[in-house]
Structures are given as structure tokens and as C-alpha cells.
Amino acid sequence: MTTVNLALGTMHFGTRLDERSSFDLLDRFVAAGGTMIDTANCYAFWSDPSGAGGQSERVIGRWLARRPGVRDRVYLSTKVGAEPIGAGEWPGNREGLSAPAIKAAVQDSLRRLGTDRIDLYWTHMEDRVAPLEDTVGALADLAGSGTVGRLGCSNHPTWRVERARQIARSNGWAGYTALQLRHSYLKPRPDTPVPGHDHRFGWATDEVVDYVHSDPELTLWAYTALLNGAYTRADRPLPEAYRHPATTRRMAALTEVAGELGVSPNQVVLAWLAGGDPAVTSIVGVSDATQLDEALAGVALVLTDEHRGRLDAAG
């Protein structure tokens, strides 16, 4: 069966989405050739009365336990660094990226997921209190022991990513080979707040895309690729930050290409990301089978050079 360049986002599994619905989506995803499942140890602390995360990992763990053999067919991706601990308000009370925090968090994630390894382990938010050498060393220890496979970072400034990779290289350690950032076809105005986005360095800027393009070791994963439904749903308008001339031109091109291909704008966006250079792995959170099928069809769509060129030139 052909695998697909799409990660199933499971942020709301076990909170907004009940276990049965979560299991159904996981089953449908794997049956369609999906392998990459993305979660985090902090999902979704803001939706749970306990104020703690771990619900998504627990649901995935129970799903795996009831489906013998499936673990070897999927690629588990989870994160460390943003789980709230103790008193205080988030993000001031997050666990951070000290060596002890990483080592404790990975064991908790393994237990909740019911597995002995994590295929891709992300540092979720940067931590400028913990020495970067300690963070990089702790991650390298996990990779060296086989507890985790690849290492990635989410919502980090590019200079910190490269500094961490230089530390790893100079010590002969495993280092970051993946970036996870917010990325889509439409872009907000620079330096303009976007409601619901808390990460200062959480955007895949042109510099980031060029950085990934220049290094064949790096891959880019994109979250919020479909802008929370704004491409297709009238009840999900774009935030004010996206209201500028380039958006008007890009939406016109997107609508034209989607109409010519007989597909949805969402599918064109996912095809544009998956078929780009560098190819981008979109993380798509869905709540029903229709949304999942649309996403799967989107990453399977191959844009012609003419269509891609028109999309690229529109703004």
C-alpha cells in the first residue's frame, strides 16, 4: 500500500474528541496508507479539567494496545517542553527542556503510548533557562539508546536550531533533523498578532523554508496548514492579520485552480505543500471521516507545473 505524506494531528483526541471517534479516525487513516501520527505530552491540558495534558497520548496508547501489529506500521511523533507543572500560569509553569525534565517526560510519554520507542521526538518550545548543551545532550542520549529515533524542534528561532545542531555535530551526537512550524499557502502581515497563536518563532518564514531547502538532512512539518477551516468555511473567517492585497490575489488563484481541477481549496493547499521544494509534511487535525478523506486526497493530488506556477506567482 502506498504511504502518504500527511501526519494525522491528534491534539484533541481524548478531550474534544471522544475515544471511539478517535479510534475510528486512526483506523481509517492507517487503512488509507497513513503512517505518521503527531501528538504531544501536553495535549490537551487547556481542554481538560485537571489542567494537565497526556489525554491524546493515552488514547493513542489504548488504540495501539487493541490492535496488535499496528505499532510497527505507524510512525509516532510526540513532543516535550510545554506541559504545565506545578502552580502558576502557563507558559511560565511549563516543564521546559532541562535534561531531567526531558528524561522524565519521555518515560511518561512511553508509558502513556504503551511503546518502547518514539520515532520522532520534538522539543515543543525553546527554553532559554536550561543550557542548550544540556538539552542537546539529553536528546542525544535518548537517540543513542534507541528510545527515540529522529529529533525535531517546534517553535524555535532558526539561529537556536542551528546552534543546537552545531553542538550536536561537534560532539558526534544525533541532532535535530526536523522542524515543525505553522505554515500554509496564505501568510499574515509580518509582525502582526494572530489570535490563538502563542509562539513568537512558530512561523515557517521564507528564511526557514530556504534553510530546509539548503540542507537535505532537514524536513519541515507544518501545523495549521488549513488555517482552521478558513479556506472553505464561511463561519471561520481569516484573522485580520491575513487581510492584505497578497491574500486577495492568492485566494483568487487558489479558487481558480481548485475549480479547474474539481477539488476543494483545502486539497490544493495540501498538494501545494506536499509537492513543493522542499516537500512539506502537513499535520492535519480532523474530527470526522469526511475531513480525513479530503486531506488524504489533497496530499495525493499532483499539481501541474502550470498550476503550481500560477499559485506561486499570485503574491
pLDDT at 82 over 90: yes
Amino acid at 46: W
Partnered with residue 98 across adjacent β-strands are: none
CA distance 255 to 231: 9
Per cent of the chain over pLDDT 70 is 99
User: Which three cell numbers, joined as nine digits, stand for 135?
Assistant: 538539552
Please list the residues that pair with 78 across neighbouring strands.
121
**Which residues lie closer than 8 Å to 187 by C-beta, 6 or more apart?**
242, 246, 247
Residue 186 lies in a domain: yes
Q: In whole angstroms, give the CA distance from residue 178 to residue 189.
A: 26
* Residue range 279-300: mean pLDDT, rounded: 98
Helix (H, G, I), strand (E, B) or coil at 113: helix
Question: For the residues 3-11, what does the mean pLDDT come to?
Answer: 94
What local confidence, expressed as pLDDT, does residue 315 receive?
82
Q: In angstroms, rounded to a whole number, what is the distance separating the alpha carbons of residues 159 and 156?
A: 8
pLDDT surpassing 90 at residue 2: no
pLDDT digits (tens, 9 = 90+) for 214-232: 999 999 999 999 999 999 9
pLDDT of residue 3: 72
Confidence (pLDDT) at 246: 96
What pLDDT does residue 1 have?
45
Measured from the Cβ of residue 233, the count of other Cβ atoms closer than 10 Å reads 12
- Domain, as residue range, for 214: 6-239+264-305
Residue 44 CA to residue 286 CA, distance in Å, equals 15
The overall average pLDDT reported for the chain is 97
Question: Tens digit of pLDDT for each residue in 150-209?
Answer: 999 999 999 999 999 999 999 999 999 999 999 999 999 988 999 988 899 999 999 999
CB 211 within 8 A of CB 269: no
Residue 289 has pLDDT above 60, yes or no: yes
pLDDT > 70? residue 116: yes
What would the grid cell of residue 275 be? 509537492
Dist. CA 181–CA 153, nearest whole Å: 9
Q: Is 111 part of a structural domain of the chain?
A: yes
CATH of the domain at 184: 3.20.20.100
Q: Is residue 116 part of a domain?
A: yes
What average pLDDT does this structure show over 300-304? 98
| Mean pLDDT value of segment 62-88 | 96
At residue 198, the 3 state secondary structure works out as coil
Classify residue 207: in a domain, yes or no.
yes
Specify the DSSP element, H or E, that contains 75. Answer: strand 75-80
Q: Is the peptide bond before 193 cis (omega within 30 degrees of 0)?
A: no
pLDDT bucket at 79, cuts 50 / 70 / 90: very high
Alpha carbon of residue 115 to chain centroid: 21
pTM (predicted TM-score): 0.97
Say how many domains are in the chain: 1
Average pLDDT, stretch 228-238? Answer: 95
Burial class (CB within 10 angstroms; exposed 0-12, middle 13-18, buried 19+) of 70: middle
92-105: average pLDDT: 97
* 203 within domain boundaries: yes
254 located within any domain: no
The pLDDT value recorded for residue 191 is 87
Domain-located, residue 138: yes
